[in-house]
Structure 1
Amino acid sequence: MPTRDPVFPANRHALYEKHGYSAAIRSGDLLFVSGQVGSRDDGSPEPDFPKQVALAFDNLEAVLEAAGGGLDDIVDVTTFHTDPEAQLPAVMEAKARAFPERPYPNWTAVGVTWLAGFDFEIKAVARLSVAPEPAAAGAR
């Protein structure tokens, strides 16, 4: 039976401890990345929406790198939006930078009313081909 190994980026933000969750869980060759938001180091939201989205993608990439992967390893993405119609242009711009070439990962966008003070969140599932190194999995 596969084990659950938590993964955290080197500079993890305050939200992981504040809300009691792991940045990602590795199980076998799958990495389940928790919803990443555009938070500053102290856990507060970035107020500028396009910057908040870009920071959420940066945080996603940092978690993937901590697990020995990258954006190309993502197979499934879910994004959460507090105002999908108004926010879509900024999200699509960030998404195009993150995934510039085909094949694109699966993507589901969901409109929500609350994201704990944030306006955008992105979660992902990645398949990693590299075996985890003890140091790469991060602190538990």
Structure 2
Amino acid sequence: MSSAQFFNYPGTEINAEQYHYSQAVKIGSIVRTSGQGGWDEKGGITSDIEKQIELAFDNTLKALQAVDSELSFDNIYAIRSYHTDMEASFNIMTTQFKKLFPNHRPIWTCVQIGKLALEGMKIEIEAEALLPA
């Protein structure tokens, strides 16, 4: 049985220490990310929902590539997204899906919730991917 290996990408070390969690885990050929928000390299969160979604996907890719630099959006087979305002974000998410996943359609669970962990967060994305063969 494979053991879990945990990873963080540059800029998230403070979160790892302060909140005691990792950005990604590898178990066998599967990689999962923790929830990735729309924060920038310095941890700032913009109020613009479109920018938050773009950054959340950028951070998702960073988390995956902390495990294996060859991972890309092509390797993602599942997405879970959490939204504080589904009406404002759903169409933007769909546009990003079409842009980032032009050759396949990952499974997607999309949930509206009341609040996310960090002040100002409007979106959080989790991903699951298969390592390249």
Report TM bin, short chain.
Answer: 0.7 to 0.9
Judge conservation of contact 1:13–1:43 (CA < 8 Å) in 2: no
Counterpart contact for 2:11–2:42, Cα < 8 Å: no
- Any gaps of 5 or more consecutive residues in structure 1? 131-140
The letter of the residue matching 2:5 is: D
Indicate which of 34, 55, 74 corresponds to 1:72: 74
**CA spacing shift, 1:47–1:16, aligned 2, 3 Å:** farther
Counterpart of 1:112, as a letter, is I
CA separation in 2, counterparts of 1:74 and 1:28?
A: 15
Identical aligned residues as a percent: 32
* Contact 1:14/1:42 (<8 A) preserved: no
- Per the normalisation by structure 1, the TM-score is 0.83
Structure 1 residue 13 displacement after superposition: 6.1
- In the TM superposition, residue 27 of structure 1 has moved relative to its aligned partner by 0.6
RMSD of Structure 2 on Structure 1 (CA): 1.7
Q: What is the one-letter code of the residue matched to 1:124?
A: A
Counting matched residue pairs gives 129
Unaligned runs of 5+ in 2: none
Match of 1:18 in 2: 18
- The alignment's TM-score, normalised by the length of structure 2, stands at 0.87
Q: Counterparts in 2 of 1:1-140, with a 5 A limit?
A: 1-12=1-12, 14-68=14-68, 69-101=71-103, 103-116=104-117, 117=119, 118-129=121-132
